């Protein structure tokens, strides 16, 4: 380490993955509280508040349901409640999570038409229109709001508008979107929306959240898909009595209560602004680190820096973790070793952002770059002044 490196760098571990994310210190405290039973007046009060406040997060008048599952469970829940075996589905596939949802729909007997987009590109509305024309029997469109594997956002508002005038249901995976940037469910005509706890909702892994539009409900009531754990009709009945159908994960729901209140106190709008400014900072640092942005439609929840060709990307990511206590994510599949992905969700301080840039720069220098750390230090500090 050079003299200047050692003066800039701290040893605090930083987790800037696009989920799981760093927890609010208050959440860490809540997680260690003594257990209470989930069938008690105390918990009922929390549960009721949480269900109400989730509507604010989803920007919907419809009920939002809590599932004890990872985000993928939420995706499955949204699917099995509106899909009939044999239904035609149009799936936007622009990365790992698009692939997952398309595979899932096939597993449940759907005939899936994949609208493949080049990784890092947003889906084109004209391509969706053409695909719907080519497959007029399509009943459901699936897409991510943010395809986390490529750090790319899709035009959800425009897609919702397009599909709102049809009988097609619009299902959106908002796991790295809802809570990180706007996905107002009602205003944007989203028929099924799923969020996940360890990403944009800033909690540990273990909860998913789903909501359905008025347009989706008749499908839920009459569809023939076998479903048990994710049967939203059971949860709806239980929620109407102020309860969860299955055992509720008390520590997670208590933490959720805190996070939702925090967001309401700050306001969703300001909360989005904070996350946007982290993303903006990360994007503005990109030329100074000599790393291009991978995505042509960059998300506010996660940024992917493209590593140079023939760079040992996987080793570099590991090096950041081992030498600099910085955890960021690498790429998957065709992006393996080619990008590093930095999350902007969760509890992230200004100093975390600054340290992240310095550690990445130092790591790059260890791998043969010749970045001037003093310069990066002052550029970063200047950018963070307006943060």
Ligand X SMILES: *Cc1c(COP(=O)(O)O)cnc(C)c1O
| Residues contributing to the site for ligand X (CB under 6 A) | 19, 70-72, 97, 144, 148, 173, 175-176, 196, 199, 205
Nearer residue to ligand X within complex by CB, 180 or 383: 180
Nearest Cα to 239, choosing from 58, 79, 78, 67? 67
- d(CA 337, CA 313) in angstroms, rounded, equals 4
Nearer residue to ligand X within complex by CB, 8 or 209: 209
**Least distance CB 206 / ligand X (angstroms):** 9
**Least distance CB 204 / ligand X (angstroms):** 11
- d(CA 177, CA 148) in angstroms, rounded, equals 9
Instruction: Tell me which residue has its CB nearest to ligand X.
Output: 71
- d(CA 384, CA 339) in angstroms, rounded, equals 24
In our burial notation (b when 16+ CB lie closer than 10 A, e otherwise), range 76-95 reads bbbbbbbbeeebbbbbbbbb
Nearer residue to ligand X within complex by CB, 340 or 361: 340
Nearer residue to ligand X within complex by CB, 177 or 373: 177
CB atoms within 10 A of CB 121: 15
Nearer residue to ligand X within complex by CB, 43 or 101: 101
Nearer residue to ligand X within complex by CB, 150 or 357: 150
- Calculate the alpha carbon distances from 293 to 122, 340, 344 in Å: 14, 10, 15
Tell me the DSSP string of 189-250: T-SEEEEETTTTT-S-SS-EEEEE-TTTHHHHHH-----STT-HHHHHHHHHTTS-SS---H
DSSP reduced 3-state for 67: strand
CB atoms within 10 A of CB 58: 24
**Least distance CB 73 / ligand X (angstroms):** 7
Nearer residue to ligand X within complex by CB, 335 or 376: 335
DSSP reduced 3-state for 142: strand
**Least distance CB 120 / ligand X (angstroms):** 15
**Least distance CB 127 / ligand X (angstroms):** 20
Nearest Cα to 175, choosing from 279, 50, 71, 63? 71
**Least distance CB 241 / ligand X (angstroms):** 28
**Least distance CB 105 / ligand X (angstroms):** 14
């Amino acid at each position: 380490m050079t003299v200047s490196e050692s003066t800039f760098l701290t040893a605090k571990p930083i987790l800037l993955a696009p989920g799981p994310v760093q927890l609010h210190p208050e959440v860490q405290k809540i997680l260690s509280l003594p257990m209470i039973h989930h069938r008690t007046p105390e918990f009922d009060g929390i549960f009721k508040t949480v269900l109400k406040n989730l509507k604010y997060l989803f920007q919907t008048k419809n009920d939002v349901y809590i599932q004890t599952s990872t985000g993928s469970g939420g995706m499955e829940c949204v699917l099995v409640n509106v899909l009939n075996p044999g239904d035609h589905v149009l799936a936007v596939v622009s990365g790992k999570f698009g692939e997952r949802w398309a595979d899932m729909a096939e597993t449940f007997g759907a005939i899936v038409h994949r609208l493949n987009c080049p990784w890092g590109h947003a889906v084109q509305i004209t391509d969706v229109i053409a695909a719907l024309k080519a497959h007029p029997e399509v009943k459901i469109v699936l897409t991510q709001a943010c395809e986390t594997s490529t750090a790319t956002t899709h035009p959800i508002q425009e897609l919702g508008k397009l599909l709102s005038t049809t009988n097609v249901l619009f299902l959106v995976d908002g796991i790295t979107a809802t809570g990180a940037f706007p996905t107002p469910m009602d205003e944007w005509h989203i028929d099924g929306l799923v969020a996940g706890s360890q990403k944009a909702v800033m909690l540990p892994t273990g909860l998913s959240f789903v909501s359905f539009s008025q347009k989706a409900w008749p499908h839920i009531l009459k569809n023939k898909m076998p479903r048990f754990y994710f049967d939203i009709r059971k949860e709806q009945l239980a929620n109407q009595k102020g309860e969860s159908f299955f055992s509720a994960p008390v520590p997670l729901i208590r933490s959720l209560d805190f996070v939702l209140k925090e967001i309401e106190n700050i306001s969703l709008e300001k909360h989005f602004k904070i996350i946007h400014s982290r993303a903006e900072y990360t994007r503005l640092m990109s030329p100074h680190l000599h790393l291009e942005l991978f995505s042509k439609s960059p998300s506010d929840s996660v940024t992917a820096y493209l590593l140079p060709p023939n760079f040992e990307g996987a080793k570099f990511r590991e090096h950041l973790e081992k030498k600099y206590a910085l955890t960021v994510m690498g790429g998957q599949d065709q992006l393996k070793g080619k990008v590093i992905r930095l999350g902007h969700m969760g509890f992230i301080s200004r100093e975390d952002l600054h340290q992240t840039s310095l550690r990445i720069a130092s790591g790059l220098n260890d791998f043969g770059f010749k970045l001037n750390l003093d310069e990066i230090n002052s550029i970063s500090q200047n950018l963070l002044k307006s943060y």
